[in-house]
Amino acid sequence: MEFIKRDVRNYVCQQRKALGKHGDAKALLSHFSRMAQLNKDFYFKIDIDDDSRIRNMFWADARTRAACNYFGDLISFDTTYLTNKYDIPFAPFVSVNHHRQSILLGCGLLSSEETSSFVWLFESWLRCMYNKAPEGIVTDQCKAMQNVIECVFPNTRHRWGLWHIMKKIPEKL
């Protein structure tokens, strides 16, 4: 099936418009604003394109931000979850507490898994966490993500997750 660059751009634009069709974007912004009024430590940031449509978003509540001070030395970041109705990547920042339980250190929704989206999200997370970069980060084998980590978290050690490595062994060997 043949298509041109304009066709792809139009399709992506149409999909982004769907986010605001039923008032979901407005409801989300209203909810985040209420949460920020109720708790001064609730943090959210929304990336809007030139046509006032949501491109990316990030949020973290007060408990999450406090937990990062204690357990944010090593984080896991993975965007393989595409289970929402908009088919856009859910991007959780996860760590482990002293009981070996997973804890959430922030969440994002991305319009794409491109370098610009990752830069925006990692910089938003870093600002939210008082510019305290993690000592280590575990991710999948995404090249765009790897490049962004080197730029945004220059002193952070980047490692690949074992699950992703094991998944690729059959195709590589």
| Domains with residue ranges and CATH for the chain | 5-172 (3.30.420)
Pairing relationship of beta strands 157-160 and 136-139 according to DSSP bridges: parallel
Of the candidates 101, 97, 57, which has an alpha carbon nearest to the alpha carbon of residue 74?
Answer: 97
What pLDDT shows up at residue 125?
94
Residue 40 reports pLDDT greater than 60: yes
- Of 168 and 150, which is predicted with more confidence? 150
DSSP structural state of residue 58? E
pTM for the model: 0.76
Residue 5: count other Cβ atoms within 10 Å of its Cβ. 7
What pLDDT shows up at residue 17?
52
- Of 28 and 86, which is predicted with more confidence? 28
